Amino acid sequence: MLNRQQAPDFKQVSTINFIQAAESKLQNNVPVFTIYSGEQDLVRLEFIFSNVNWDLQKPLQAIAVNAMLNSGTAQRTAKEIAEQIDFYGAFFQTEYVQDQSSVTLYTLNKHLAAVLPIVKDVISHSQFPQHELDIYIQNQKQKLQVNLKKNDVLSRKEFAHALFGNTAYGVDIQAGHYDALQRDDLVTYFKSAYAPNNCTIIASGKFEEESFKLLDEQFGQYWESSNAVKNKFSFAEREKQSIYREKAEALQSAIRIGKIAINRTHEDFAGLQILNTVLGGYFGSRLMANIREDKGYTYGIGSGISSLHDAGYFFIATEVGADVCADALKEIYKEIEIIKNELISEEELDLVRNYMLGSMLGSLENVFSHADKFKNIYFTGLGYDYYQKYIQTVKTITAEELQQLANKYFTTEDFTEVIIGKK
Amino acid sequence: MVDFNRFTLANGLKVLVHEDATTPMAVLNILYDVGARDEDPEKTGFAHLFEHLMFGGSVNIPSYDEPLQRVGGENNAFTSNDITNYYITLPSENLETAFWLESDRMLSLAFSEKSLETQRNVVCEEFKQRYLNQPYGDVWLKLRPLAYKKHAYRWATIGKELSHIENATMEDVKAFFKKHYNPQNAIMVVGGNVKTEEVKALAEKWFGSIPAGVRYERNLVKEDVQTEARVETVTANVPLNAIYIAFKMPERLSPDFYAFDLLSDVLSRGQSSRLYNSLLKEQQLFSDINAYISSSLDAGLFIVEGKLVEGVTMEVAEKAIWAELEKMKNELVPETELTKVKNKVESVLVFSEMSLLDKAMNLAYYELLGDAQLLNKETEAFLKVTAEDIQRISNETFTHNSSSTLYYLTQENA
């Protein structure tokens, strides 16, 4: 007779294998890291550029250049670029994040030779036509208007600005910043940032000798260097800040609280990630268990640690019923106090260890995820031993060590607290 | 190509196995053939609320999530108008835990009052967060009842209104479980680093003894053919005027489904598409413009939606959309343009095979359609579509008398 009350036997994840990146260089010394897998006949190529020449007077130039990269070159209009890429079934994406701007190409290998010259044209000869800029400004301002009606978006903006002020990490973008965009500034920024000496290429998939040659032919030559200065920020400790923006009609309030903490390079980072998982980093976390599953105040609540190049931060975020906002806040702070004052039980800690190891294994789903893992370490100056140490820490950290970390980092007396809605 | 093996247990549970030795993980996906379309019109949002309750403990296992997390697994679920789909990913060596958990909640739930009480609140907060407290969040709550008058697609999966969720009782929960949650109404897909023989043994062990239950015979009211243009205007605290036009299109298994999908691609896939270039770039009438299909199992919707550039009148904007639709009716899509959207679809299908979970979900869905092998015949079906097909369906679809138009206006425009 089957005993359904008895859980089947299980094992903790023992080994996690990483597909390590192999480094090579184009003729012009642009580093190319290949994360190889021959499973599918396709490749993802990422061209990653550091954000440079930060200028508070022109906070949108890096963002606009990235978004408008495919809006026309001397040879091709925006429409022609899109048509040609689409014709080959390829995907061209641009992304701006706090520290980097990137261009990503996804293509089947059989079309690589055809699409690479288009990407080269875009990355080295983009022109930012004035009429395209006008359309960009108009439509981005409209998108901003819609976003400013969303409480969670407002809470993110306020929180980042409170922590990081007028840097690329925290600047509060308003409609006027779009109006101030000038074509000349974009062209200047483009030439500074999208240069071979500021570029790292990550190739993942079935990327072989033949493909490397194609890449080298296009990007290894006829591409001008620049002397841009990589952004560098430093941040002082912040005092406690409380920001409240009342929205009379709000059905829910967006809450975001936290502080500047540490990034991946710090020795406490892995431990803090484990602590964060216990508090609010997975579905079974304490915040979810209390504020969603017990009280029903919210559809979701979570916490996280974000690692940027020049800083890291810890945050708790949720949207809760406007009528229970004060109660939800009280419960959040209560959970923080408990994790600072009481040892995590072995049972809970074991669960979190196993969950995190399984989650790490599962996050290596395909060759692209292996490449993402490489980017995490490479751009923070770490090696693969980072992951070995991380896994070791997950397996062996003690409840006492976690409590010490809680008291070191969850110092609510200097937390920034943002509430948008009603309280 | 997604390979699979298939077998059926004596109680009617269909099982598909996709072996993929390149991953150390396994996926267990269970699709229940029940969605919001199966709800009582007076108790809408129930299929989705029920999905939440499936995580509130089962007859022999008090907590669903905890034992799964303990073995390194993760799970989630979603409900649509057609289906409810649950999935687990976990290290393959702990696969049996997934069988244990999923089989127990198919056998019976704990039906805890506390769980019902909490999840009613959680779902009400979800309703607010996603539909009511967002600019344009309630569009589908308005558009569905405009486009559908009889069919159960006239309400959204979240439900018609908060009160339907607030009033759900334990009696409703038990009846719903009995009606829909049995082996005959489910399709299970196990994928990843697994072997078919091992899956067979585990399926027999954990699911074999679950009673077959009574098969649910779906008998939904059909929508009448629409013969009049429908229009509704709402005003709300939003910054921009917007327009949504919904046209009727055939059911998922219609041979024309693929032509409709490509039609939406010609109009709206990416920056080389027609609506983007004509309406957003050249005429600058919209800051956002899209066309897409609802992909529902029963007769669905083809939607065109856009946000107007400030200062553009609704009349001008709407006319411009129709001019593009008229072009689809009057002219054949050029061969290169058709090849372009077909190449894109082909490439999307190859890239989708990078994800184990996507493969497992797709197998379950296509098995529901009638045969999981259809998944591997998709590319072929898309390639067969001709420019004439697209012109023909455009003529059948893009008429005022089969359109439902929602004008979503700012308060200044009220």
Q: pLDDT tens for residues A61-107?
A: 999 999 999 999 999 999 999 999 999 999 999 999 999 999 999 99
Measured CA to CA, the distance from residue B78 to residue A415 in angstroms comes to: 35
Cβ neighbours of B209 in A, within 8 Å? 2
Q: Do B344 and A86 lie within an 8 Å CB cutoff? A: yes
Please tell me which residue of chain B has the smallest CA distance to A142: B287
Per-residue pLDDT averaged across A10-27, rounded? 96
Asked if residue B237 has pLDDT above 70, the reply is yes
Please tell me which residue of chain B has the smallest CA distance to A254: B129
ipTM of the complex: 0.94
pLDDT tens, B258-286?
Answer: 999 999 999 999 999 999 999 999 999 99
Please tell me if residue B48 touches chain A, with a CB cutoff of 8 Å.
Answer: no
Q: How many residues does chain A have?
A: 423
> How close, in Å, is residue A130 to chain B by CA atoms?
13
Q: Do B347 and A108 lie within an 8 Å CB cutoff? A: yes
Confidence of residue B412 (pLDDT cuts 50, 70, 90): confident
Any alpha helices (H) in A126-261, and if so which ranges? 130-147, 151-164, 175-179, 183-193, 209-219
First to last CA, chain B: 53
Confidence of residue B141 (pLDDT cuts 50, 70, 90): very high
Measured CA to CA, the distance from residue B220 to residue A93 in angstroms comes to: 43
Q: Do A151 and B133 lie within an 8 Å CB cutoff? A: yes
pLDDT tens, A254-267?
Answer: 999 999 999 999 99
Measured CA to CA, the distance from residue A415 to residue B7 in angstroms comes to: 56
- For residue B145, the number of C-alpha atoms closer than 13 Å in the C-beta half-sphere is 11
Asked if residue A413 has pLDDT above 80, the reply is yes
Please tell me if residue B107 touches chain A, with a CB cutoff of 8 Å.
Answer: yes
Q: How many residues does chain B have?
A: 414
> How close, in Å, is residue A92 to chain B by CA atoms?
10
Q: Do B339 and A87 lie within an 8 Å CB cutoff? A: yes
Cβ neighbours of A9 in B, within 8 Å? 96
Confidence of residue B414 (pLDDT cuts 50, 70, 90): low
Angle in degrees, CA B46, B52, B58, rounded to 5 = 110
Measured CA to CA, the distance from residue B92 to residue B202 in angstroms comes to: 13
pTM metric for this prediction:
0.96
Cβ neighbours of A79 in B, within 8 Å? 271-272, 277, 281
Measured CA to CA, the distance from residue B278 to residue B286 in angstroms comes to: 10
Number of C-beta neighbours around residue A384 at 10 A: 14
Please tell me if residue B344 touches chain A, with a CB cutoff of 8 Å.
Answer: yes
* Contact of B160 with B140, CB cutoff 8 Å: no
pLDDT tens, A243-292?
Answer: 999 999 899 999 999 999 999 999 999 999 999 999 999 999 999 999 99
E strand segments, B216-284: 230-236, 242-249
Cβ neighbours of B236 in A, within 8 Å? none
pLDDT tens, B339-361?
Answer: 999 999 999 999 999 999 999 99
Please tell me which residue of chain A has the smallest CA distance to B20: A39
- pLDDT at position A225 is 96
Measured CA to CA, the distance from residue A187 to residue A293 in angstroms comes to: 52
pLDDT tens, A334-377?
Answer: 999 999 999 999 999 999 999 999 999 999 999 999 999 999 99
Return the structure tokens found at A51: 């954000």
Cβ neighbours of A41 in B, within 8 Å? 350
Q: Which of B93, B307, B345 sits opposite A142 (nearest CB)?
A: B307
Please tell me if residue B358 touches chain A, with a CB cutoff of 8 Å.
Answer: no
Q: Which of A8, A252, A295 sits opposite B96 (nearest CB)?
A: A8
Q: Do A11 and B93 lie within an 8 Å CB cutoff? A: yes
Element holding B115 (H helix, E strand)? helix B113-127
DSSP letter (8 states) at residue B21: T
Residues 375 to 404 of B: which have CB under 8 A from any A CB?
none
Measured CA to CA, the distance from residue B8 to residue A418 in angstroms comes to: 54
Beta pairing partners, A202: A33, A46
What backbone phi and psi angles, to 5 degrees, belong to A226?
A: -140, 175
> How close, in Å, is residue A139 to chain B by CA atoms?
5
pLDDT tens, B30-83?
Answer: 999 999 999 999 999 999 999 999 999 999 999 999 999 999 999 999 999 999
What percentage of chain A reaches a pLDDT higher than 90? 97
pLDDT tens, B161-198?
Answer: 999 999 999 999 999 999 999 999 999 999 999 999 99
- DSSP strand pairing (B5-8 vs B14-19): antiparallel
DSSP letter (8 states) at residue A77: B
Of A375, A265, A378, A252, the residue nearest A325 (C-alpha): A252
SS3 at position A70: coil
Residues 265 to 324 of B: which have CB under 8 A from any A CB?
269-272, 277, 280-281, 284, 287-288, 307, 309-310
- pLDDT at position A229 is 96
Find where tokens 């996280």 sit: A304
Cβ neighbours of A10 in B, within 8 Å? 70-72, 93-94, 96-97
What percentage of chain B reaches a pLDDT higher than 70? 100
Return the structure tokens found at B239: 């910054």
Cβ neighbours of A5 in B, within 8 Å? 60-61
Measured CA to CA, the distance from residue B91 to residue B26 in angstroms comes to: 6
Residues 131 to 190 of B: which have CB under 8 A from any A CB?
132-136
pLDDT tens, A320-331?
Answer: 999 999 999 999
> How close, in Å, is residue A25 to chain B by CA atoms?
27
Asked if residue B413 has pLDDT above 90, the reply is no
Asked if residue B320 has pLDDT above 70, the reply is yes
Q: Do B97 and A368 lie within an 8 Å CB cutoff? A: no
E strand segments, A261-351: 298-307, 312-321
Q: DSSP secondary structure string, A201-226?
A: EEEEES--HHHHHHHHHHHSSS----
pLDDT tens, A186-241?
Answer: 999 999 999 999 999 999 999 999 999 999 999 999 999 999 999 999 998 788 99
What backbone phi and psi angles, to 5 degrees, belong to A291?
A: -85, -30
